[in-house]
Structure 1
Amino acid sequence: MRLLVGLGVLFLLRFGWWFIASSPVGFAPLFWLLTLSLGFALLHIGYEWYHYVNVREPVASHATSRLTVDVLTTACPGEPLAMIEQTLRAMKAIRYPHTDYLCDEGNNPYLQALCSELNIVYVTRQLKVNAKAGNINNALQGATGDLCVVLDPDHVPTSDFLEHVLPYFADPTVGFVQVVQSYGNQSEGLVALGAAQQTYYFYGPLMMGMNAYGTVQAIGANCTFRRAALDSIGGHAAGLTEDMHTAMRLHAKGWRSVYVPRVLSKGLVPSSLAAYYSQQLKWSRGAFDLLLRVYPRLFAHFSWRQRLHYLLLPLYFLSGVITLIDLAIPIASLVLYQFPWHIPIREFMVYALPLVGLIFLIRHYAQQWLREPHETGLHITGGFLRVGTWWVYAIGFCYALLRIKVPYIPTPKEGKIENEWKLSLPNILVAFISIGAAVYGVSISSTNATKMMAGFAVTNAIILLIVVLMGQHALLRFLNAKAAALFGRNLHQRLSHFSASLTSVLETAVRRYSLVIATVLVVSAAFSDVLVSRRHSMLKQRQAEKWIHTGGDDVHFGLMLPNQDTIQTLTSQEVDQSMLPATSPSRIVAINLSTINSSGLPVILIQSLLQRHTVPLLTWHVNAGDTLPSTLIAHQLKQIEGMVMLRPMLSAHSASAYRREWQLLVGRIQNAGGTNAAWIWSPPQPDSLIQYFPGARYTNWIAADYRHQNVREICGATSPYQKMRLQISSRIELHERPVVLFAAPDLHQQSAAQSKIIRSACAEIKAVVYQSSMSNDKTVLSQTRRKRRRLLANVHDTGSKKTTHLKNLELTKSPVF
């Protein structure tokens, strides 16, 4: 188990690291709510694992000291007399010498006569305060035993009950000993089955894990106390959860507790929604009250492990608020069309599924510590019932915050036979709201995110409606009768037998091959990490290249070189120190080629630019009658690892001929496999874009050539570019194409300021390529740069006059492109 839990912790850290690194924040309110829900689930898992690795079987002492014992049970008006009588007779049959007490709150003559017949001490009281705790304390005033056993009236003890408990009191530091609380009426209905399933792990590995730090929880039934321990805290502590309150005070006083994992009694679990909800409301209100008001007062008296124990134990009932969040998030997401997490669903599955698989494996491996054979399984009924109790737990939490009192009413012991529609109304309401939100969300959007949220909403609705059905006892009996008439009365037995056999096989396989399964999960997780890492690398590369096809969200800047010979004398450092802005997200280097002959593209030049982490933009003129080696160009493009921007300058006698020539040129290269090229279209007639546009399939960018103006001038209201913008906005296929602007540099503004101008005034512009003053002569190049730096250093001293001179200097030195 320690090895499995160790792997589980590693998987938890792996998931957490990925979750944080993936920057998943979507719509902030929903994100934090869903993250809170996820955190609560992981905290609950950690709480379970903490106890699994600390499971201890207590070692009984062989000391033979004789201790006197009092055995007490209670009776309240309305509880079945036959049930109480069965418990009293079983108490009397306990073999170890003891004195029996019945603490009757109802002054019932029948019970009084029965106690007289069985020689059981009958105790009643006139002043009925502090509910069950007050009732027991009243009886203890006349009891004289060294130990006292507290039994609920529905729990029938075995005759050897005390023989398994007393040896642990040889340790004088033990204040109480708790045994398993087991039930015998799970078959009464789905509510009874679900309520019982919720206790299996608690009375198995969790309570056994508490043995490791001597802080076993006291339960209201089947608990044996040392009288000296009770007297040290003034008797049983009052409250809705008097058992937990008493345990807290005993542990704060330094008393230890022991859990004996033996079934020494059989009790009754609530079999109706009314009984179950009443019990859970009382427990949740009482547990939160202890956490908020008693825990802070006793905090200093606890050990650190006890502080952790009594902090986390009441949080089980916070699951109502968390479930409410889980129900509300898909509804809100679908109605608002906002999503809590922005994460790739495949990656989420890669990191979550191995963790879920290991959680499942650990939980089923822990079933070896369940107390009875029938307790193994998936416990789906119990899980559904807990989800359907969300509103009860939430009310208990609110009542605790607002100090609203809940009367202490013993859990009803007889399940009602009629349908419980009224108690199901909250679940019915939320189920139909979830379905409505799913229908509405899908009707306005059919994205994968919407469909996923709709799936969550419908799943929640199905679970809630199943819980509703669980509470309709008459309807279920009717359906069972119909099924028996159609398929035979032994259908249920056959299904139960098949389920039990399947569960047995599953549990045996899990325990026998747990390490093998864990190894498979580890290997699959490691393999998944490699795949995800490769996918991230590919996505980063694609993301870096995506803007070349679509323009992206940023404004990209580039540098225009005179010709392809310049690059041979240009180093990477010189590119960085050139007019090209260092803050550009992707740097473009544009080169004018005289033509492309039979040798195809200048592959060495392109590779040289790509190695400098720049994007090549090649411009060449295609004269009438030129035949381009399309197959060769496509082959060369496939050999190049990176994206290339191509800008052929065509000429034709008419618009239709121009379109046809462009489509043939681009189409042949694309069809031959040259797909890593982005095609930049320069309109031959800027006033006739629509007539000359060759089509969206053959065009990635639209070029706007205004190289004798800077960005501020081009984006101005009176710029000639505004006429081109009107044409671009008039047709959707033009409007969807990003614009690359060829412009003069503006020495007054940094690239960030120019980007701001573009985003506000010319949002369609996604790239700016500046004129360059570089020449083929490297000496002239260096002199130009030095002169530029000197002039820039004096700009602030000499004002706009020198700035204008510098600008004119750049324009006169710029070659015609």
Structure 2
Amino acid sequence: MESKIKAPTKNESRIIKFMILLGIFSIIYFLQFFFHPEHIGNPYLYALLSISILYSLVKKLYMWYNYSNISVPESSGKVPALKVDILTTYFPGEPYQMTITTLEAINQITYPHTTYLCDEANDPYLRNFCEENGIIHVTRDNRIDAKAGNINNALKKYATGDICVVLDPDHIPEPNFLDPILPHFEDPEIGFVQIVQSYYNIKETLVARGAAEQTFQFYGPMMMTLNSYGAVNAIGANCVFRRTALDSIGGHAPGLCEDMHTAMLLYAKNWKAVYLPEVLAKGLAPSNLTNFFKQQLKWSRGTFDLLVKVYPKIFSKLTGRQKIHFGILPLHYLGGVISLINFLIPALSLFFATTPWKGNIIDFAFVLIPVAASSVLIRTFIQKWVIEKKERGFHIIGGLLHINTWWIYIVGLAYTLINKNVPYLPTPKENEWNTNYKIIIPNAIIGIISITAIIYGLQKDLTPFSIVMAGFAFFNALIMAFGIYLANKVTNQNRILRSNLAFSKISSLWSFKHAFYKGANSTFMVTRAIALPLLLVLLIFSMNFKNMNDLARWENVSVPQHTPLSGKYLGIFHPYQETGLSDIQEITFIENQQDVNFNIVSLYLAWNRQSIESFPHDLMTDIFEKDAIPIITWEPWTAELATQDSEPELREGRKSFKHIANGTYDNYIRDFIQILKSYDQPIFLRYAHEFDNPQYPWSAVGGNTPEEFIAAWKHVHELIKAEGANKIIMVWNPWKAHNMAGYYPGDDYVDWIGITLLNYDALNSDGQYHPFKDLYKPFSDEFFWFTRKPVMLAEFGSLKIKDRQEEWLLDAMTSINREFDEIAAIVMFNSAYDKNIPENDWYDQRYLDWTTGSMKEISTRFNPNPPRNGNILKQLTLENPATNPISQFDIKGVHYKKGKDWKNNYYVLTREELQNDLETIKASGLNTIQFKGSDIYDYNIRSISEDVGLQLIYEFDIDASRNYLGNNKKIQKLAKQIINKTERFKDDKNLIAYSFKFNLEQQYVKPLLFAQRTAYLNWLNSLITEIKKIDPIRSIVIEVPLNNETMDLIQQMHNSFPVDSYGLIMVENNMEQLYEVMRYSAKAGIDVFVSDIEPKVLLQNAASFKNDNFILSNWQNERYSNWLNYDGLVDFNGNRKQELRAVKTLLTGLSPEEKMAEVRILKPAVPLTPNSSLEYSAAIRAGGQWLTAAKHVQDFSFDWSLVKNDLYGNPLALKNLGSGNTIKVTIPRDYENYELIVTAKRKGLNYSTSNRSLLHTKLEE
């Protein structure tokens, strides 16, 4: 039973201290994050949470403080000749056998001593036992000072020894009990020696186990450190006192915690103490909840009493370490108040639909990991110094028991505050297994409150934050349920498994248990060995990831990369002679011979009358019949269209692009476009290819400029739109990478990028062989700066010379697959009739031969996956015609997007915030919100919008990037989810419509777009038909972008689609197009309305919308982890913009508040240099002149923010800089990509105005 614990080595002591320092650093790091003002949710709950966290961290620090200086006392080993008195007590009702067993064990102690039984009952049985066993029986006629008075009675009247041992009647000493203790009394300054308090009934019940677990760390490393601090606690169960020390304080101190009281008084008299970490006696731990609660009430009341009444009186007489110990130790019992706070926080959050903290949960995890790791790993490392190996572990039962004792600790605190006494509580009675079930009422109440809060709270507010709070509340309820279980299942000896399982099963379980404990011990040893490096790694890992997370929101914010899907295509140009037309029969032969399939067939047509009059209709038909797509290289040899009376420039083919842009060739262009349109099939149009190639007159050789090219390109594009040839796919094809960006007309005018990539091998201009990568990479590098369009190698091949063709082609395929995934189409230039032979002095053939036999290998490596072609809606049949047009409702609405993508969204959409937003929307004259479905926020949006009195258009959240081709299980699952939602929503009174977006052009590139549209609409047709069966009352709305295709799409869908209304998404101020669609729809009897319009466009055309339905783009500016926008009626901080003020005036007709003054940013009149700090000022326009904000600072408040943009000016991230009429800005390195926002708000007004400006002044400014 003797402990063999040794003090830590110097290296172990250094490790302990260093780990504690890391833990302290982790706590500081956590607190710095937690207490950031922007994380404050509900201020009252935040205050409670702060109290709970601070208490827990202080408690942790106190434990680490008591781990930092472990020591084991040394002695000479000589047992001095001291007269010893050993005293134990008896209180009426305690079991005889327990007392007798202890007395018998005391008599077995080998060192000479006198035994005393201090009998409060003067019990005849015990008196007789004492007489028979040479024990002095002591009694008294009063019970003053309870146990202390009982002991002191014996000390004053009978005991005369040098040493006084006080044993509780349930603690059984070892025969050598005094041998290791007495040598320490050689030092005359030692007033008492304390040994380990251990228990022999730990396995009796879970309560006994939990009660013992709460002492393991205290009697191990903590008391061993207190030994170093000179602040050892005296424990009444088995403490050994010097009699002169006790006499110096008037004997054993009275009170509920008489042992702690005694120690405090002895220290005040300058006595010292020793803690001996050896198990020399074992006693009984409380075996049921009633007895445990009695014990804890006694200790909590007693320690609080000492803190309030004794500690202040002796404070000046204690050492610094003793002041810390006796001042903090009683605060352990404040855990009851903290537990109550922890119970209330989630319950109140659920009841009131709020949250105490609203920071980023991922960041919270990163800063919490070091604290948690420090706690676990320090505890693991320090457990080498617990008294016995079996005491190692996380002591979960002890922790749960402690939490369940919360109300007892509160009662102890309350009794202290009102100075109410707690009666003396004896040790547990024999066979006292029954529990007083009244003691579980407080825990049952907390459990019921927690469960009620979950049910009520989630019905009222279903958000990620309420779900988290519900998780905490449920955890609290489980803890309370465990406490109730402890009150009922008092014994572990239920033998349920042994009574119902076969012996083989029992043996297997025993084997598993043995293996588990063996594995746990091995894990402990390994963890302990690597505790310090593991803590360092976790700390560095967490801080690094937190830092990376922070940088990802600002310095290293990732630019959103969205690349629409295009499919992959393999094409061919294979003429049958010296012509620009491919030979379909030859192509079919190559496909059969080389086991390959071509998805694109190339042909070349010049600008001349023959291209109209002799258009290759048969070839086009053959191409479509083989389910391929033609690519027409349309060469503007404009001189061939000139007439005799044309001006010289036209006859010479000069300035082609200037004349194209001026409309000179519009009739020809329209005729050609109409031919292509007539096929109603996708057609690639490679117009004016290689515009920078001096071999062509449409290059600079012909007097053409990049500006003229761009103007001509846009003009042709507009003509294609005007003619409704929506299946034409525009391919922009430069010749060289150099300066090609100067010719780029913009993504709105280009569908694909074409590249001429031909390997001339030894016929290259430098006579050298160049691999594919060297030829293509200059293009790829340049594309990065101006476009993400898919790339087509519109002429791809390698000359059949020097036997290197196949090697070059296959190497090219390897490079494409590894490095250039933007290449989505390859058109093999498989001509044997190319007369464009570079200048050389050795090639003597008439033609260049590009034909290859490597088609199969190229196809296998490139792996084309083209969609099947199809006309939009060709398979649809109208089953359920439109019956509920949305025009029956008056709609003045706004999109509410704050619940979108909640994981990356900066807004915390609590019920309170949602309620405030919707009430403000209603007060602004708007009567409808459109909300994109979210499983997280659906419930709140539906219930609150109905309470507020807003109409709701529910937009189903459909990922447009899904593959709608084929039998896709994901879209089938999505359809079921939508049907299920319809079933749930159909009884909502304020729900007026279901909405579906038709915007696949953001996700797909032509021609894949056409096939996906067809598949999507077929899927949507069957889905809407099912919805109408479930909910025939609601309008079904399809929203389409307002562009040149809108009328054609609406017409086709209207004739074969069960849609009630069409919403028009206005992506720009294209009012003429809107009027055109409106006029057409009115004539055709199609119900349309504007379902997405920016506030500024609405206000610019207010007269047109006053009596029409419309939905504004956004309620509040959107802000996500790596992008944001400014299209809301409310800014990022919740300030109402001037646009909202104007909308309210438009809709309500009420007189507006005083108009807000304009605000501008005054920039510093110096050149910007990175890392310098410059001051920017706000200016206000008042009385027709601009004045600095300093003159108006009494009337206005100014808030400043910095916005980081990408290279194209798209906003990525926002940082709040502060408030004031001026602001200091540290200039970023790439300051050209930053903007400053100032928001001004006049006191007393509800609206704000803002200005956004680049940090620097552009030259043109």
Provide TM-score, normalisation by structure 1: 0.73
| Contact kept? 1:291, 1:311, Cα under 8 Å | yes
User: What SS is found at the alignment partner of 1:225?
Assistant: strand
- Is 1:330 aligned to residue 346 of structure 2? yes
State the Cα deviation string for residues 412-436 of structure 1 (Å, max 9, x = none).
1445333553321211111011011
The 3 A distance-change label for structure 1 pair 158 and 492 is farther
The Cα of 1:529 is off from its aligned counterpart by: 3.2
State the Cα deviation string for residues 176-211 of structure 1 (Å, max 9, x = none).
000000000011111111111111111101110101
The 3 A distance-change label for structure 1 pair 376 and 690 is same
Tell me which of 1067, 1072, 1075 is aligned to 1:655. Answer: 1075
User: What SS is found at the alignment partner of 1:246?
Assistant: helix
Tell me which of 507, 513, 535 is aligned to 2:530. Answer: 513
The Cα of 1:724 is off from its aligned counterpart by: 3.3
**1:4-15 map, 5 Å:** 4-15=19-30
| Partner of residue 35, structure 1 | 50
Greater mean alpha carbon deviation, residues 686-695 or residues 60-69: 686-695
**How high is the sequence identity, in percent, across the aligned residues?**
37
Amino acid at match of 1:100: T
**1:92-131 map, 5 Å:** 92-131=107-146
The 3 A distance-change label for structure 1 pair 647 and 451 is closer
- Is 1:49 aligned to residue 469 of structure 2? no
User: What SS is found at the alignment partner of 1:163?
Assistant: coil
Aligned length: 662
**1:164-243 map, 5 Å:** 164-243=180-259
| Partner of residue 681, structure 1 | 1097
| Partner of residue 523, structure 1 | 540
Report the Cα distance in structure 1 between the residues aligned to 2:1106 and 2:73, rounded to whole angstroms.
88
| Contact kept? 1:205, 1:370, Cα under 8 Å | yes
Greater mean alpha carbon deviation, residues 174-183 or residues 466-475: 466-475
| Partner of residue 12, structure 2 | none
Amino acid at match of 1:67: L
State the Cα deviation string for residues 470-512 of structure 1 (Å, max 9, x = none).
110379766x536741466668755653553243122212222
User: What SS is found at the alignment partner of 2:181?
Assistant: helix
| Partner of residue 448, structure 1 | 464
State the Cα deviation string for residues 205-237 of structure 1 (Å, max 9, x = none).
111010112110000111000011001100011
Greater mean alpha carbon deviation, residues 11-20 or residues 437-446: 11-20
| Contact kept? 2:204, 2:491, Cα under 8 Å | no
Unaligned runs of 5+ in 1: 544-595, 601-620, 662-676, 705-710, 730-738, 779-817
Higher strand content, 1 or 2: 2
Tell me which of 319, 331, 335 is aligned to 2:335. Answer: 319
| Contact kept? 1:87, 1:155, Cα under 8 Å | yes
The 3 A distance-change label for structure 1 pair 161 and 633 is farther
Report the Cα distance in structure 2 between the residues aligned to 1:475 and 1:263, rounded to whole angstroms.
25
Tell me which of 500, 524, 527 is aligned to 1:485. Answer: 500
Report the Cα distance in structure 2 between the residues aligned to 1:694 and 1:599, rounded to whole angstroms.
36
| Partner of residue 932, structure 2 | none
Report the Cα distance in structure 1 between the residues aligned to 2:275 and 2:378, rounded to whole angstroms.
22
Report the Cα distance in structure 2 between the residues aligned to 1:483 and 1:190, rounded to whole angstroms.
19
Report the Cα distance in structure 1 between the residues aligned to 2:19 and 2:170, rounded to whole angstroms.
39
Amino acid at match of 1:534: L
The Cα of 1:63 is off from its aligned counterpart by: 5.0
| Partner of residue 746, structure 1 | 1182
Amino acid at match of 2:169: P
| Contact kept? 1:100, 1:121, Cα under 8 Å | yes
The Cα of 1:525 is off from its aligned counterpart by: 2.3
The Cα of 1:361 is off from its aligned counterpart by: 0.7
Report the Cα distance in structure 2 between the residues aligned to 1:712 and 1:463, rounded to whole angstroms.
49
The Cα of 1:340 is off from its aligned counterpart by: 1.4
| Contact kept? 1:270, 1:413, Cα under 8 Å | no
**1:588-603 map, 5 Å:** 599=710
| Contact kept? 1:229, 1:250, Cα under 8 Å | yes
| Partner of residue 537, structure 1 | 554
Amino acid at match of 2:380: H
State the Cα deviation string for residues 376-426 of structure 1 (Å, max 9, x = none).
122111111001000111100000110011101212144533355332121
| Contact kept? 1:195, 1:385, Cα under 8 Å | yes
The Cα of 1:334 is off from its aligned counterpart by: 1.0
The Cα of 1:742 is off from its aligned counterpart by: 12
- Is 1:724 aligned to residue 1146 of structure 2? yes
The 3 A distance-change label for structure 1 pair 722 and 107 is closer
State the Cα deviation string for residues 95-137 of structure 1 (Å, max 9, x = none).
1111111111111111111111111111111122110000000
| Contact kept? 1:703, 1:740, Cα under 8 Å | no
| Contact kept? 2:370, 2:535, Cα under 8 Å | no
| Contact kept? 2:216, 2:391, Cα under 8 Å | yes
**1:745-764 map, 5 Å:** 745-747=1181-1183, 763=1247
| Partner of residue 809, structure 1 | none
Amino acid at match of 2:521: S
User: What SS is found at the alignment partner of 1:139?
Assistant: helix
The Cα of 1:254 is off from its aligned counterpart by: 0.6
| Partner of residue 84, structure 2 | 69
Tell me which of 132, 142, 147 is aligned to 2:147. Answer: 132
User: What SS is found at the alignment partner of 2:33?
Assistant: helix
The Cα of 1:18 is off from its aligned counterpart by: 1.9
Provide TM-score, normalisation by structure 2: 0.48
- Is 1:270 aligned to residue 291 of structure 2? no
Higher relative contact order (CA 8 A, sep 6+): 1
State the Cα deviation string for residues 227-277 of structure 1 (Å, max 9, x = none).
110011000111011001000000111111110000000100000111111
Unaligned runs of 5+ in 2: 1-15, 561-706, 712-717, 725-743, 752-781, 788-1065, 1082-1092, 1116-1124, 1130-1135, 1161-1179, 1197-1238
The 3 A distance-change label for structure 1 pair 260 and 651 is closer
Amino acid at match of 1:359: S
- Aligned-residue CA RMSD in angstroms? 4.2
State the Cα deviation string for residues 703-724 of structure 1 (Å, max 9, x = none).
99xxxxxx999999xxx98763
The Cα of 1:537 is off from its aligned counterpart by: 1.6
| Contact kept? 1:388, 1:464, Cα under 8 Å | yes
Tell me which of 392, 396, 406 is aligned to 1:380. Answer: 396
Report the Cα distance in structure 2 between the residues aligned to 1:241 and 1:143, rounded to whole angstroms.
23
**1:552-701 map, 5 Å:** 599=710, 629-631=745-747, 639=785, 650=1070, 652=1072, 655-657=1075-1077, 681=1097, 685-689=1101-1105
Higher helix content, 1 or 2: 1
State the Cα deviation string for residues 605-638 of structure 1 (Å, max 9, x = none).
xxxxxxxxxxxxxxxx99x979994516899999
Greater mean alpha carbon deviation, residues 225-234 or residues 54-63: 54-63
| Partner of residue 260, structure 2 | 244
The 3 A distance-change label for structure 1 pair 320 and 39 is same
Report the Cα distance in structure 2 between the residues aligned to 1:742 and 1:313, rounded to whole angstroms.
59
The 3 A distance-change label for structure 1 pair 80 and 633 is farther
Report the Cα distance in structure 2 between the residues aligned to 1:526 and 1:660, rounded to whole angstroms.
61
User: What SS is found at the alignment partner of 1:100?
Assistant: strand
**1:414-429 map, 5 Å:** 414=430, 416-418=432-434, 420-429=436-445
Amino acid at match of 2:442: P
**1:363-378 map, 5 Å:** 363-378=379-394
Report the Cα distance in structure 2 between the residues aligned to 1:24 and 1:134, rounded to whole angstroms.
55
Greater mean alpha carbon deviation, residues 308-317 or residues 507-516: 507-516
The 3 A distance-change label for structure 1 pair 457 and 740 is farther
Report the Cα distance in structure 2 between the residues aligned to 1:497 and 1:640, rounded to whole angstroms.
67
Tell me which of 477, 495, 501 is aligned to 1:461. Answer: 477
Higher Cα Rg, which structure: 2
Greater mean alpha carbon deviation, residues 267-276 or residues 373-382: 373-382
